[in-house]
């Protein structure tokens, strides 16, 4: 027995020693100056993936000692993968902050390192004004993350001019109000006779419903912050939840009416945004509400599509507000555990550098609007992209941001728990017919949100006594930029 026990113990020790030796070898390989530095980059930017692959090749060619290992995941996959990687101390060298997470919190947890000392002093000067702001991508004066794209609302109305003509509508006059859009969608559905429909959406994606609910209600005066992550769960003017604002109820009724008219493409509720985009491109629907990234995608996949761009529609009661945006956002940062921070910073710099083709290629192809100075003016060549930019910026205004105005709110965001089901879930439920009483559902969400905000402020006060509900209230006219 003693012999056999010894064999088992020896085998275990031998295996552990082999593993340890293997790890040592891999560390040696990483430190070997002759071997190229391998930079791991991970994100979820699927619409710019082809251009990123081209940029990675360009970067490797100009920097022979650096190899790029780029992984593009879906939003959900990315979040799970990065959470596990950070916890295991094996985060990629460069990665964005997962959607819904606050930079303050992750910097506090040691996810990222400051970029300032790794890039030239004039790095930030190359970006559009307002791109960097304390509490968003700068923490205590140090830069931790760079935005991916210029901020533009993502809820403009694209329409198919050919289907407009078939329905007897003027292809140069897109709808501007809820009623107009509803009437146009009805006419297109009738003309389609089952071949094409009024409108299509990626109905399975709750975040799309959420964006539409908030942006359209904001045009009616709800004054909620747009974009991901939302900078506040309450109205930026009243400090109370605006989920039951009359403009939100009107928005819900508008979407529900589209459904009861039979204007939605029958696949709407079982598909996601990319599938909806593809079916719209194939001429199966007259309208789709999406963001700028579609322009480039359709130019490649459906070059014959007669595309029109219209504004986000306003409630019939008239425009009383704007889609509140913030120029500063946080996206890519350098992992605090990166073994090659200088090379990582070089990559980050190259992405925004005019010497590389990444920014201009994305703008030229209509993938996004750049956050780098001069790029948009010079390289927007697609007329639909120009139209989108003008219409979106007409509907948008710079909104106040509690995170920037009151850095002490970081304690609030570290504790706040979303109320579920959220506004996106409710709109999906209302349109699919699962919620019969819209007003009651929105009142309940608003009440729960106010309770959650109150409870979180109370809890956050223990960490920072200065925090108060007033931090979330601003003197802002939502028809003008906040200054």
Partner 1 sequence: MTEISRRRGAGALRRNTLWCWAFLAPTLALYVMFNGWPIVSGLYYATLDWSGLSSSKEFVGLANFVEVAHDPYFWNSYRNSFTFMLGVVPIHLAIGLLIAVALNRKDLRFATGYRTLFFLPVVTTAAIVGIIMIFILAADGPINQLLLMSGAIKKPLDFLGNSKLAMGSVIVISGWKNLGTNIVYWLAALQGIPDELYEAATVDGCGGSRLFRHITLPLILPMGAVIALLNIVGSLKAFDLIKTMTNGGPFFATDMVATYIYRFAFSSEVGVPRIGYATSAGIFFGVTIIIVGALSNTLASRIKANSAK
**CB 215 → partner 1: shortest distance, Å?**
15
Continuous segment of H or E residues that includes residue 341: helix 341-352
Whether 473 and 236 have beta carbons less than 8 Å apart is answered as yes
Here the tokens at position 233 are 């769960």
Touching partner 1, residues 41-80 (CB under 8 A): 76, 79-80
Report the C-alpha gap between 90 and 241 in whole angstroms: 40
**Among 155, 135, 131, 97, residue whose Cα is nearest residue 324:** 155
Whether 378 and 62 have beta carbons less than 8 Å apart is answered as no
**CB 105 → partner 1: shortest distance, Å?**
6
CA distances from 427 to 151, 189, 433 (A): 24, 22, 10
Which residue in the set 120, 383, 433, 465 belongs to the binding site for partner 1 (CB under 8 A)?
A: 433
Per CB under 8 A, 173 contacts partner 1? no
Exposed/middle/buried for residue 137 (C-beta within 10 Å: 0-12, 13-18, 19+): buried
Touching partner 1, residues 194-223 (CB under 8 A): 194, 203-204, 206, 210
Report the C-alpha gap between 396 and 152 in whole angstroms: 8
Touching partner 1, residues 93-112 (CB under 8 A): 100-102, 105-106, 108-109
Interface size with partner 1, residues (CB under 8 A): 54
Per CB under 8 A, 85 contacts partner 1? no
Per CB under 8 A, 186 contacts partner 1? no
Bond prior to 229 in cis (omega within 30° of 0): yes
CA distances from 403 to 115, 236, 294, 329, 412 (A): 20, 12, 30, 11, 10
Which residue in the set 253, 340, 382, 432 belongs to the binding site for partner 1 (CB under 8 A)?
A: 432
Binding span for partner 1 by CB under 8 A among 155-163, 249-257, 393-401, 411-419: 411-419
Binding span for partner 1 by CB under 8 A among 16-24, 345-353, 379-387, 426-434: 426-434
Per CB under 8 A, 193 contacts partner 1? no
Report the C-alpha gap between 39 and 300 in whole angstroms: 30
Touching partner 1, residues 250-279 (CB under 8 A): 262, 265-271, 275
Binding span for partner 1 by CB under 8 A among 113-121, 344-352, 375-383, 433-441: 433-441
**Among 356, 349, 339, residue whose Cα is nearest residue 40:** 339
Q: Which residues contact 320 (CB under 8 A, 6 or more apart)?
A: 219, 220, 221, 247, 478, 479
**CB 478 → partner 1: shortest distance, Å?**
19
Which residue in the set 60, 162, 250, 415 belongs to the binding site for partner 1 (CB under 8 A)?
A: 415
Per CB under 8 A, 90 contacts partner 1? no
Which residue in the set 6, 17, 20, 83 belongs to the binding site for partner 1 (CB under 8 A)?
A: 83
Which residue in the set 45, 48, 251, 284 belongs to the binding site for partner 1 (CB under 8 A)?
A: 284
Per CB under 8 A, 405 contacts partner 1? no
Whether 430 and 438 have beta carbons less than 8 Å apart is answered as yes
Report the C-alpha gap between 296 and 308 in whole angstroms: 13
**CB 63 → partner 1: shortest distance, Å?**
33
Q: Which residues contact 23 (CB under 8 A, 6 or more apart)?
A: none
**CB 327 → partner 1: shortest distance, Å?**
20
Per CB under 8 A, 440 contacts partner 1? no
Here the tokens at position 307 are 């595309």
Per CB under 8 A, 230 contacts partner 1? yes
Which residue in the set 47, 154, 160, 232 belongs to the binding site for partner 1 (CB under 8 A)?
A: 232
Cβ proximity to partner 1: between 111 and 358 the closer is 111
Here the tokens at position 114 are 């400051």
For residue 28, the tally of other CB atoms under 10 A from its CB is 10
Binding span for partner 1 by CB under 8 A among 26-34, 299-307, 337-345, 420-428: 420-428
Report the C-alpha gap between 310 and 308 in whole angstroms: 7
- The residues binding partner 1 (CB under 8 A) are 1, 4-5, 8, 76, 79-80, 83, 86, 100-102, 105-106, 108-109, 194, 203-204, 206, 210, 228-230, 232-233, 262, 265-271, 275, 284, 413-418, 420-422, 424-425, 428-429, 432-435, 456
């Amino acid at each position: 027995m003693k012999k056999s026990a010894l064999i088992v113990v020896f085998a275990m020790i031998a295996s552990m020693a082999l593993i340890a030796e293997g790890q040592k070898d891999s560390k040696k390989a990483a430190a070997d100056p002759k071997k190229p530095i391998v930079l791991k980059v991970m994100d979820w930017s699927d619409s710019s993936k082809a251009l990123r692959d081209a940029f990675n090749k360009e970067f490797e060619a100009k920097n022979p000692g650096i190899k790029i290992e780029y992984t593009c995941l879906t939003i959900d996959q990315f979040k799970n993968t990065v959470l596990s990687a950070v916890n295991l101390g094996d985060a990629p060298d460069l990665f964005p902050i997962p959607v819904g997470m606050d930079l303050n919190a992750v910097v506090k947890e040691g996810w990222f390192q400051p970029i300032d000392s790794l890039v030239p002093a004039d790095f930030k000067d190359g970006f559009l004004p307002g791109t960097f702001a304390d509490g968003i991508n700068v923490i205590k004066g140090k830069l931790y993350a760079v935005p991916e794209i210029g901020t533009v609302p993502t809820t403009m109305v694209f329409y198919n001019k050919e289907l407009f003509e078939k329905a007897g509508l003027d292809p140069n006059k897109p709808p501007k109000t809820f009623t107009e859009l509803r009437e146009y969608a009805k006419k297109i559905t009738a003309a389609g006779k089952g071949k094409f429909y009024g409108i299509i959406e990626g109905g399975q994606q709750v975040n799309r419903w959420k964006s539409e609910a908030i942006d359209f209600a904001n045009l009616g005066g709800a004054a909620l912050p747009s974009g991901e992550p939302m900078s506040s769960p309450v109205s930026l003017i009243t400090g109370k939840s605006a989920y039951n604002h009359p403009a939100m109820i009107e928005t819900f009724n508008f979407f529900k009416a589209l459904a009861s008219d039979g204007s939605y493409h029958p696949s709407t509720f079982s598909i996601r945004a990319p599938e909806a985009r593809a079916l719209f491109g194939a001429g199966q629907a007259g309208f789709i509400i999406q963001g700028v990234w579609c322009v480039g995608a359709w130019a490649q996949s459906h070059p014959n599509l007669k595309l029109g761009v219209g504004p986000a529609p306003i409630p019939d009661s008239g425009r009383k507000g704007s889609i509140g945006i913030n120029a500063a956002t946080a996206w890519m940062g350098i992992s605090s555990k990166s073994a090659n921070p200088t090379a990582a910073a070089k990559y980050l710099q190259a992405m925004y550098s005019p010497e590389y083709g990444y920014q201009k290629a994305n703008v030229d192809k209509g993938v996004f609007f750049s956050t780098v100075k001069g790029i948009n003016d010079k390289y927007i060549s697609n007329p639909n992209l120009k139209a989108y930019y003008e219409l979106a910026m007409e509907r948008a205004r710079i909104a106040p941001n509690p995170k920037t105005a009151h850095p002490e709110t970081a304690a609030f965001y570290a504790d706040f728990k979303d109320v579920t089901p959220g506004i996106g879930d409710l709109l999906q439920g209302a349109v699919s017919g699962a919620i019969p009483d819209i007003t009651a559902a929105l009142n309940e969400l608003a009440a729960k949100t106010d309770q959650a905000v109150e409870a979180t402020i109370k809890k956050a006060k223990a960490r920072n006594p200065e925090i108060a509900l007033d931090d979330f209230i601003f003197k802002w006219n939502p028809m003008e930029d906040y200054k």
